[in-house]
Amino acid sequence: MNIKNIIVGISLILFGLSSCSEETAIDELNESTSEVQIILSSVPAITKAGSPETEKPTDFELKVQNCVLGIYDKTEQKWISTQFISSLTEDKDKTYKVASSLKLMNNHAYTVMVIANVDEIKKEAYEACNSFKAFESIKEGTKEYAFDASKLLKYGKIENFEVSSQNKRIEVPLDILAARIEFVINVKQTDVKFEETYYEMGTNLKLDIEKKYSVEEVLEKFEAAGLVRNEDIFPLENWNSLPAGVKPPQSNELYYGDRPIISFQGNGPKGVYIRNYKAIRVDKYMGKTIEIDKIFIGNIRTQAIAVLPYEENNMSNLLEYDKMDYNNITRKYSFYTYAKGVKTKEPLQVSFSGHVVKKYILKKTAVTTDWFVFADVYSPKIWGSTGSEGIKMESGWKGSNTVFFTTMGNWKDDDSSIDIPDEESIGSELGSYNNSFSIKGKESEMIEFGHLYNVTATITDFTPQSTGTLNVSIQDYNTVTVPGFGFN
């Protein structure tokens, strides 16, 4: 795939180019010349790997800090000019303009080349170029290029542009010569032991599940969170207090976690009924997991020659993860690598190390349903700790105001569950862990420039002092997981 994916937009007003060759741009306007405007056009899109769909690039990816311009007269077969523009200022339209003028011959065909975000140290080398071949000797890039989106090398070239008095606007599209890689390392917990189930009813309620409340206190908590009494929440004196159309639950129709309420004892189910409310069910387990300490990326291409395909020897050493961008919400790392569609024997390699620890694992599932709040002599922690055995409930608010939440068995919405390791470890470290995986394409094994690769690696089996087992998928943005390696 050689699709042009990300093009940075800049407008350059009329400007003159000083030449390093023996030929120079035309100095004066006459009937045989035109004052030409060169525009670096903007198509703000980046292609997702394996998909024709695109997404908007970041502001940093769009940035152009400087550029080199080369102009060749194909009609007369001679080099016209090379100029290094060391500073470009972004305007309110996110374009970059250089105030100069360029005069070219009418009815002549020109090739215009632009290399953007080049190293200022190489200014003299660029200005000495008087042919396209000469640019092949200039290699761009340092280690920081892999982590700084604003410095990514860009390249564009327009062939056979014929200048005339009506045709004097040259638009040069720029390609970004790097691929963006985003990856996350997940851990599938093993050797888990169920501890308890409880419900998080929303932080805005400020409810302590273990605290004793009265019926009125419960009602006030939900009212403060925006629910309306006798519309969303209802006080219960007995089953006859339920709103019209709501049938009293029968045996095995009320649940606490996976445990059905099989009978009521005492003075009746006095409490609170909550209609169609969304909460989070939390199943707490104790298990082993991995805390990752360091991540290294091998074979990042931090160098490139703009006018040539990627060369095999342009590789870096291992780079530490703390220079990568990290998103705390998605838990993804991101970096860039140069590639220009040439198959490589050295794929990107992600290596990481950490240690195995015991942790509480919280499996959280969003649940929207009807809820009942009752008082009972038992603690909700005890209720949730013994699996799926039926519960005989003693209710009636005598001797205890402890509130627990039960839910109807038929949930209206069951959102996908997520496993979240608790912050606190249990006991000592069990041992170390090391592993690695490769990032490469499905068909040609190439990483294409201008593409975005979304990579998920899941540790599915591990023991201390071992490398364990990994499942790795490389997938499109916002699509289903692809098993193994490959693209949709």
Q: Is the pLDDT of residue 179 over 80?
A: yes
Place 484 in a pLDDT band, splitting at 50, 70 and 90: very low
pLDDT of residue 364: 80
Q: What are the distances in angstroms from CA 20 to CA 23, 43, 84, 126, 159?
A: 8, 32, 11, 9, 21
**Residue with the larger pLDDT of the pair 292 and 345:** 292
Q: Which residue has the tokens 């129709």?
A: 253
Place 475 in a pLDDT band, splitting at 50, 70 and 90: very low
Place 460 in a pLDDT band, splitting at 50, 70 and 90: confident
* pLDDT per residue as tens digits for the range 118-152: 999 999 999 999 999 999 889 888 777 777 888 88
Beta strand 46-48 pairing with 451-461? parallel
Structure token digits, residue 441: 């394409």
Return the domain boundaries, the chain: 10-176, 183-188+286-359+425-475, 194-285+365-422
pLDDT of residue 54: 75
Q: Residue 179 — φ and ψ, nearest 5°?
A: -105, 145
Domains 10-176 and 183-188+286-359+425-475 fall in the same CATH topology: yes
Q: What percent of the chain has pLDDT over 90?
A: 13
Average pLDDT over residues 373-383: 60
Place 57 in a pLDDT band, splitting at 50, 70 and 90: confident
Place 106 in a pLDDT band, splitting at 50, 70 and 90: very high
pLDDT of residue 145: 75
Query: Cα angle at 169 between 163 and 175, to 5 degrees?
Result: 110
pLDDT of residue 172: 83
Q: Quick one: which of 483, 484, 454 has its CA closest to 53?
A: 454
Put simply, whether the predicted model's pTM sits higher than 0.75 gets the answer: no
Structure token digits, residue 382: 């005890």
**Residue with the larger pLDDT of the pair 39 and 203:** 39
* pLDDT per residue as tens digits for the range 254-308: 777 777 777 665 545 678 888 888 887 788 888 888 888 888 888 888 888 888 7
Q: Which residue has the tokens 């407008």?
A: 11
Strands (E), 88-153: 89-90, 96-97, 102-105, 109-116
Q: Which residues pair with 178 in a beta bridge?
A: 338
Candidate CATH numbers 2.40.50.140, 3.40.50.970, 2.60.40.2580, 3.30.43.10; the one for domain 10-176: 2.60.40.2580
Structure token digits, residue 323: 């220079």
Do 193 and 344 touch, CB atoms closer than 8 A? no
Give whichever of 144-158, 296-310, 330-344 has the largest mean pLDDT: 144-158
Cα radius of gyration (the chain) = 32
Distance separating alpha carbons of residues 459 and 419, to the nearest angstrom: 13
Do 284 and 411 touch, CB atoms closer than 8 A? no
Average pLDDT over residues 84-105: 71
Place 310 in a pLDDT band, splitting at 50, 70 and 90: low
**Residue with the larger pLDDT of the pair 12 and 232:** 232
Candidate CATH numbers 2.60.40, 3.30.70, 3.30.43, 2.40.160; the one for domain 183-188+286-359+425-475: 2.60.40
Of the listed ranges 226-235, 265-274, 332-341, the least confidently predicted one is: 265-274
Neighbours of 21 (CB within 10 A): 15
Q: Which residue has the tokens 């019209």?
A: 244
Q: Is the pLDDT of residue 88 over 80?
A: no
- Region of 330 please: left (phi>0), alpha (psi -120 to 50) or beta: alpha
